[in-house]
Amino acid sequence: MKCPFCSHSENKVIDSRLSREGNSIRRRRECLACTRRFTTYEYVEDVIPVVIKKDGRREAFDRLKILGGLKKACEKRPISMDDIEAVVDRIEKFRQETQLKEIPSTAIGEKVMEELHNLDGVAYVRFASVYRQFKDLNDFMEELKDVLNTKTGKKERRP
């Protein structure tokens, strides 16, 4: 870290503390050459991965897009916005934990499905019908059977 006054590269940290928001560290430093003090802030660098869509397009990860899809799936269901936000938080945490520069949309979609399956069966089937692009009623019925089997203790999941 160069001193902003004399450009000397050596300094010492006098004080460190978390910022008010808790998302950065504030450090008071003293230049070893000119003895002037200055403040620096350290932030965690959040690398936003690119999502690879099914058709090969690439776009930035968008939390709001996931939130919108979840809201549609959970519409008119007894699910609070806090629960929906918590699902989005867990999906975003999953995205961060993968530490990949590119992540397939299918990985995110499957994580959303898993979260909805645990949250609400109806919302799960609504999302699944769009995400898996059911072709006919048989596809829909197979998914319903899987949900019902899981609820009754039979762990039959389709690939």
Quote the number of domains for the chain.
2
**Co-location of 123 and 86 in the same domain:** yes
**Co-location of 85 and 115 in the same domain:** yes
Closest by CA to 27, choosing from 37, 9, 11, 41, is: 41
**Residue 157: what pLDDT?**
45
**Co-location of 25 and 79 in the same domain:** no
Is residue 70 one of the residues assigned to a domain? Answer: yes
Q: Which residue has the tokens 């350290």?
A: 42
Is residue 23 one of the residues assigned to a domain? Answer: yes
Is residue 93 one of the residues assigned to a domain? Answer: yes
**Co-location of 15 and 87 in the same domain:** no
pLDDT digits (tens, 9 = 90+) for 132-152: 777 777 777 777 787 777 766
DSSP helix/strand/coil, 11? strand
Return all residues near 76 (Cβ < 8 A) that are at least 6 apart. Answer: none
Is residue 109 one of the residues assigned to a domain? Answer: yes
pLDDT digits (tens, 9 = 90+) for 44-103: 766 778 999 989 999 988 989 999 999 999 999 999 999 999 999 999 888 888 878 899
**Residue 153: what pLDDT?**
61
Tokens of 87: 């699902």
Model pTM?
A: 0.61
**Co-location of 37 and 72 in the same domain:** no
More confident residue, 158 or 109: 109
Q: What is the mean pLDDT of residues 12-25?
A: 86
Tokens of 96: 């961060």
Q: What is the mean pLDDT of residues 13-18?
A: 93
**Co-location of 67 and 92 in the same domain:** yes
Is residue 34 one of the residues assigned to a domain? Answer: yes
The CA-CA-CA angle for residues 152, 157, 159, to 5°, reads: 170
Domain limits for position 58: 50-151
**Co-location of 73 and 141 in the same domain:** yes
